[in-house]
Structure 1
Amino acid sequence: MSGATPREILDTQSKKASTRGSDEDSYDSSTAPARELITEWAATHVDDQRIATAKQIARESDRDDVGAGTVGRTLGCRHDGVTPDGFLEEVELSTWGDANVTSWVFERVDGETESDDTRADRLFKPDLVVEISDTIGDLDEEYYTRHHNCRRVEVSAEWRRTVAIALAEATGTDLEELLSGYEEDGFYSFDEYVASLSNDELTNIVERLLDADEQLGTPHGWTRELLIPIHDILVSGVDPAEVDT
């Protein structure tokens, strides 16, 4: 089947599927995290047609909480039609390969997607951090990346503070107005007070600067979902009023 197009593969697999027996004995062994990972991956990696293995999908995602085996099992459940309604409904899904290596063929139902996604939506978390840092400047020492099964990034408290200040400037917001405990004639200077803010406090401030409709950060740090609108504003120069949060 070397050189076959995704469309030809789909046609071949459809013919094979017509000879298979009933799926009455199938049951849903997918997981919510895997469905979320696959949905996010498809949104950023499937413009029209795409062939990928479960291992590729797991590796290309920015998460290490779901293994390739779980991704493959969840796709298998979707292929059998036993996953919850709405999951991956925007694509047709079929398989290609042998018993040893199964590749999954994704084809968008309505052809190539017309998306309002910004460039940030197609970047993984480490790339978002790097580009935000490069735009602000002087932050190279405030984050580091590491590789263990997948690429990860860690940022310092100073990185978060600097980004929060830059975001306030970009949105035309007086940061002092968001610091409920700060007193101009108090014991701490403005810089000292900002330096004392906890991760949760900085997260709350950034969410308010973004006018977020829902919580984007977590107690463990700043998520990719929080970094995307920050990147939109600071790096891509999107009008804050037009950023979707």
Structure 2
Amino acid sequence: MEISAIATSVRAKSPALAAAAATEAAFRSNRGDEEWWQKHLASIATPRDLMLGIVALLEQAHPSVVISLASAFDTLVQQLEPKRYLAVEHALQMDVAARRIRPLALQEALRLRQINLSGRTLWLIHIIGTASTRDRVGPLLEPQLDDVFKAGVNDGREAVAAARTARKLKLEIFRGARRSLPPGGWADESALAAMPQTIAGEILADPGNWPTDLVQMAIDRLTIRQGNRTKPLADVATTNRWFQDRA
């Protein structure tokens, strides 16, 4: 049965279900209609409609529509509160895992710089994109990881892995990312910039604002530095002739 027919058949018994089915039917029947999507996005008035509109555009609209409305769409994503961004992220991940949708192909638009997106929007594109699209998202995501963490992702380790390139990740982008980065599995020192003493001191001055793994790295960094500045006990003993007979 067509979803529009479902909307009609349940209208009397369940107006809410009928409305939801009608909305879904509208998404599907207007996949390639840029003007319709533009009007729909402009009409969004509630947080619930905002989440549904974002998911629908990514899952239902043709790539050409997503490209044309990229700027307006990015603005809407930035309006999501962390808990609602998390809900959108989870919905996309579930639909991708269940193979209920066709992956979004934006690789050429990204390659040609036809669209300019924030880190949090790029991460949603990475979740739902084709393999070629994800390959293009990675280098663009790397300098904007801090925006991904601020958005409210469930597990930022996946975003860190997606953003890895030949360049090392600057430590400053992890400021404020403690909630988004659980301990373990991401802080590969070969992929991170060196930690200078100033950053180590900043981290330890406010450890609750930094991921646990970087706090531990800062502790190790300053411990090693302090150890290098402390004279070995044997040298102290020799200098002070602790174990020599005094004349």
Same fold per superposition (TM over 0.5): no
Which structure's relative contact order is higher, taking Cα pairs within 8 Å and 6+ residues apart?
Answer: 1
TM-score (norm 1): 0.22
Report which of the two has the higher share of helix. Answer: 2
More strand by share: 1
Structure number with bigger Rg: 2
